[in-house]
A and B are shown apart, each in its own frame.
Chain A
Amino acid sequence: MSTDSAPAPQSGIAEDVKQGPRVAVSALTTNLREYGLIIALIVIMLFFQYTTSGTLFKPVNLSNLVQQNSFIIVMALGMLLVIVAGYIDLSVGSVAGFIGALAAMMMVIWPLGIFSNPLVVSIVCLIVGALIGAAQGYWIAYHRIPSFIVTLAGMLIFRGICQALLGGGSSVGPLPDSFKALSSGFIPDVIGPLTLIPPTVNAAGKTIVGSGLTLHMTTVVLGVVAVLAYAYFGLRARRKRERHGYEAEPFPLFVIKTLVGSALALFLVFQFASYRGLPVVLLVMGVLISLFVFVTKRMTIGRRIYAMGGNAKAAQLSGINTERLTLLVFINMGVLSALGGLIIAARLGQAVPAAGLGSELDVIAAVFIGGASAMGGVGQVIGAVVGGFIMGVMNNGMSIMGVNVDWQQVVKGLVLLGAVIFDVYNKNKA
């Protein structure tokens, strides 16, 4: 920061603050929450890696972990915007269940001809999700009905429709394989596999499953390209700041951050590559996460959502159409709930009446663990994603350890409470 911006001393003002090293310190402290969260995730993963005797990081388990939790993370992206905007959505689990049932009925039961095609069905389902979001958002935005109540009603309504569609307690399936690929599929290896260590062949002439090391090269290439891009764009943004004369975070910090991030990413890529490659759903998630990071950090609409959540009246008096913005936030939530529902159905291979039951709570917990404020205006996409993974890793790890489901709930509850207490405590200290 140039020194000529130092303010002229004036009488009666208390908060003159010295320029200089403070900026660097604040860069660290403002990001501490995000770093802290990622460190917490790593610690939790290492903990379970130890208690499960190394099962957690096994390639097959990592794939499972991603496939089991992807719908939570997808819905958490929408929920983050809802909560930042100052609202809540309790209906997402029911909407996901309903959409799964709708998709199954369209593909398996109803004679729809071309409209039974999984791709067509998926698109129709996403549109239905948008309409559901619009219907709920309309009452919240234009009639100022509290979102808690509207979506509580939605939670009951769509769970009911879901069960009615499936005809009581029965499930509908099996769903076509091409549809199931959304959840359980892996990206095709267009480059071809690379065998580093040939699999062991036993005396009977059969190869032993899991032995040897063959890499899914498309995954490796994609992973390396992504890591390089991450480093490149980070460096470019830094350069740009410096060129304009603004202080960026300290270079060593940047290097450490980039190296640690890249190493972690490459490790995961290697694990996936040594199994069956990148899960399709991880790719979908990756694209969505990038999109939402961009929208919240760089786009005017994202900025307006934060402003609305921070002070709705001030945002309105600054010319922001808060009603329309609220409606859009709920439409977005509806689409992502629908996508979540499709992912659940695809993973189970069928639609069941209880699909997504209670998942709204996991989604909301993920967002709050990720540092969002219940008052609105505060929260980060990456936080919500990491929060979602923390919940997922705990589910997965405790299941492998054989912890009873009842006690898993207790632990998750304590982690949520602890994370928010940590947040509030930190804020009060600052």
Chain B
Amino acid sequence: MRQGAEFLMTSTILEMRDITKTFPGVKALSNVNLSVEEGEIHAVVGENGAGKSTLMKVLSGVYPSGTYEGEIVFRGQECHFKGIHDSEHIGIVIIHQELALVPMLSIAENIFLGNEHAAYGVIDWNANEKRTKALLDKVGLKEDPKTLITNIGVGKQQLVEIAKALSKEVKLLILDEPTASLSEKDSQALLDLLLEFKRQGMTSILISHKLNEVNRVADKVTVIRDGRTIETLPRKDISEDRIITSMVGRSLDDRYPPREPRIGDVIFEVKDWSVYHPIHAERQVIKNISLNVRKGEVVGIAGLMGAGRTEFAMSLFGRSYGRHITGEVLLRGKPIDLSSVSKAVASGIAYVTEDRKTYGLNLIDHIKHNVTLANLGGVSSRGVIDDMREMSVANDYRKKTNIRASSVYQLTGNLSGGNQQKVVLSKWLFADPEVLILDEPTRGIDVGAKYEIYTIIARLAAEGKAIIVISSEMPELLGITDRIYVMNEGRIVGEMAASDASQEKIMRAIVRGEGKKHHEHR
């Protein structure tokens, strides 16, 4: 058996056939096929939300057998994983984007967590440390196994994760966006390590949307779009242009309400905005961003996950993110003070958060109280709330934004994602801002509700507000904005009128930005 595998160097190690995975109301994957050869680095690429991570969760048993259709064949055997344990047992190990390490435990403790060398529950620390040292050598990490995870950088943590995978006799290593939070140097080291593993005969799947990285290490690329396999490109056909075309080749239909922009003068302007990471003080997250928005204009900020868009918006809004914030913000040409959220709101800025459940709503309270929260002054006098005024405000916005609920006394925790988003929007509309920053306003909501949100945005623009929309869905930005800034790695790498923008252009701006940075480092 073992010998047979060595002779047939190009045998297929993994075959996923016709995988279909449905969530309530959404088809996340539909008839996806993926075939991985033994000993290759196979890249899986696609836009955010294309279904890459869902596919990997199916493969690793996070979604157990029976919750999806289709079959998985690994090393010639059909597999029905009931959970992560089953897949790890036969050698499929996935390293997730968010590292699963316990910060206050040591490297050795983390590597063998749940898998310790122990007799009758008593751990043999010497054996653990010896094995850890050997594994760390393999991944080229020179650290004492007793070092706490919290004391080493993200790049090294990533290596610890890989060492942990190696400790499990891995046959197929899956890396989900491994370089998303790594510096350029650490990313290169990680890619070199992958190539080294390949020389030793290991198979890996690399999920990434950094196309230059894919270009560098991948033997094959499978492109996924809208939950479908588009194509698998062999090494000789891999080029960034080819991949981009394949990734975004989607037609735009009339999923967006028509609007006639009436754009006035610049009312909101950010100059030279810089922000550092709240914990790692030396890491600059936002790098000298300048942008402006005109009256009645909808401006989009495009970029990949981790480009720093949310961090930028939150640092603007009452310094809710980061430190050592420098730069200037002008409203109608006059500098404004955004040093606290209440000052930002008072100056006429509103920020609709990306994560409505964690940052946007009080889920255990009803619609009425949520709608008025950001502008309680508007329904009270001398600190006493006028119940009737509040009631009519809540009903008014419920009608305006078409929130579907039995009454304004329904708990927001019991609403659907789309209706929750309308409550958050109502809250900020009632605060009557001049500048509205919407962060991923349609994430996780269905198509019908999306259209309603777009309609509200169009109406606000028509009323003369300045609107910034942050979105990872490029068609959405092309469909509803007037102008698009492209952000990557904390800086603006492109600006274009929506009318002559395209998904290819945006993608190219991002890739160019990465390439430029790449050269800078060399």
Q: Do the beta carbons of B365 and A298 come within 8 Å of each other? A: no
Closest to A13 in B: B404
Q: How far is the CA of A301 from the CA of B385 in the complex (A)?
A: 10
Q: How far is the CA of A244 from the CA of B390 in the complex (A)?
A: 12
Q: Do the beta carbons of A300 and B416 come within 8 Å of each other? A: no
Q: How far is the CA of A317 from the CA of B362 in the complex (A)?
A: 11
Chain B residues with Cβ under 8 A from A246's Cβ?
Answer: 388, 391
| Number of residues on chain B facing chain A (CB within 8 A) | 55
Cβ-defined partner of B446 (8 Å) among A12, A241, A301, A320? A12
Q: Do the beta carbons of B25 and A317 come within 8 Å of each other? A: no
Chain B residues with Cβ under 8 A from A317's Cβ?
Answer: 317-318, 320, 341, 351, 353, 359-360
Q: Do the beta carbons of A12 and B448 come within 8 Å of each other? A: yes
In the complex, whether B183 has a CB less than 8 A from a CB of chain A is no
Interface string of B345-388 (1 = CB under 8 A from A): 11000010100001111111100010001101100100111011
Cβ-defined partner of A378 (8 Å) among B346, B364, B418, B447? B364
Q: Do the beta carbons of B449 and A316 come within 8 Å of each other? A: no
Q: How far is the CA of A313 from the CA of B362 in the complex (A)?
A: 9
Cβ-defined partner of B362 (8 Å) among A300, A311, A319? A311
Report the minimal beta-carbon distance from A86 to chain B, rounded to whole angstroms: 11
Report the minimal beta-carbon distance from B47 to chain A, rounded to whole angstroms: 22
In the complex, whether A51 has a CB less than 8 A from a CB of chain B is no
In the complex, whether B402 has a CB less than 8 A from a CB of chain A is yes
Interface string of A303-315 (1 = CB under 8 A from B): 1101100110111
In the complex, whether B491 has a CB less than 8 A from a CB of chain A is no
Q: Do the beta carbons of A306 and B374 come within 8 Å of each other? A: no
In the complex, whether B399 has a CB less than 8 A from a CB of chain A is yes
Closest to B358 in A: A313
Q: How far is the CA of A314 from the CA of B354 in the complex (A)?
A: 12
In the complex, whether A22 has a CB less than 8 A from a CB of chain B is yes
Q: Do the beta carbons of B383 and A301 come within 8 Å of each other? A: yes
Q: How far is the CA of A321 from the CA of B318 in the complex (A)?
A: 11
Answer whether A8 and B388 are a contact pair too, CB < 8 Å, given A15-B416, A26-B409, A310-B362. no
Chain A residues with Cβ under 8 A from B373's Cβ?
Answer: 303, 307, 314-315, 318, 320
Q: Do the beta carbons of A318 and B374 come within 8 Å of each other? A: yes
Chain A residues with Cβ under 8 A from B361's Cβ?
Answer: 311, 314
Chain B residues with Cβ under 8 A from A209's Cβ?
Answer: none
Chain A residues with Cβ under 8 A from B383's Cβ?
Answer: 299-301
Q: How far is the CA of A138 from the CA of B418 in the complex (A)?
A: 39
Q: Do the beta carbons of A299 and B384 come within 8 Å of each other? A: yes
Report the minimal beta-carbon distance from A326 to chain B, rounded to whole angstroms: 15
In the complex, whether A19 has a CB less than 8 A from a CB of chain B is yes
In the complex, whether B398 has a CB less than 8 A from a CB of chain A is yes
Q: Do the beta carbons of B385 and A319 come within 8 Å of each other? A: no
Q: Do the beta carbons of A300 and B380 come within 8 Å of each other? A: yes
Q: Do the beta carbons of A1 and B363 come within 8 Å of each other? A: no
In the complex, whether A7 has a CB less than 8 A from a CB of chain B is yes
Q: How far is the CA of A318 from the CA of B373 in the complex (A)?
A: 7
Chain B residues with Cβ under 8 A from A14's Cβ?
Answer: 416
Interface string of B414-433 (1 = CB under 8 A from A): 11101100000001000100
Interface set, chain B 441-492, CB cutoff 8 A to A = 446-449, 452
Chain A residues with Cβ under 8 A from B380's Cβ?
Answer: 299-300
Answer whether A314 and B404 are a contact pair too, CB < 8 Å, given A298-B384, A300-B383. no
Interface set, chain B 276-325, CB cutoff 8 A to A = 317-318, 320
Most chain B CB neighbours (cut-off 10 Å) among A16, A23, A298, A314: A314
Q: Do the beta carbons of A300 and B377 come within 8 Å of each other? A: yes
Chain B residues with Cβ under 8 A from A240's Cβ?
Answer: 388
Answer whether A300 and B404 are a contact pair too, CB < 8 Å, given A306-B369, A310-B363, A315-B362. no
In the complex, whether B342 has a CB less than 8 A from a CB of chain A is yes
Answer whether A22 and B406 are a contact pair too, CB < 8 Å, given A303-B376, A310-B364. yes
| Residues in chain B within 8 A of chain A (CB atoms) | 25, 317-318, 320, 340-342, 344-346, 351, 353, 358-365, 369, 373-374, 376-377, 380, 383-385, 387-388, 391-392, 395, 398-399, 402-407, 409, 414-416, 418-419, 427, 431, 446-449, 452
| Interface CB pairs A-B, < 8 A, 24 | A1-B407, A7-B404, A11-B448, A12-B447, A12-B448, A13-B416, A13-B419, A15-B414, A26-B406, A30-B409, A241-B388, A246-B388, A298-B387, A300-B377, A303-B373, A304-B376, A306-B365, A311-B364, A314-B373, A316-B341, A317-B320, A318-B374, A319-B342, A319-B344
Given contacts A244-B392, A311-B359, A311-B364, 8 further A-B contacts (CB under 8 A): A7-B402, A12-B449, A13-B416, A26-B409, A30-B409, A300-B383, A307-B365, A377-B364
| Residues in chain A within 8 A of chain B (CB atoms) | 1, 5, 7-8, 10-19, 22-23, 26, 30, 240-241, 244, 246, 298-301, 303-304, 306-307, 310-311, 313-321, 373, 377-378
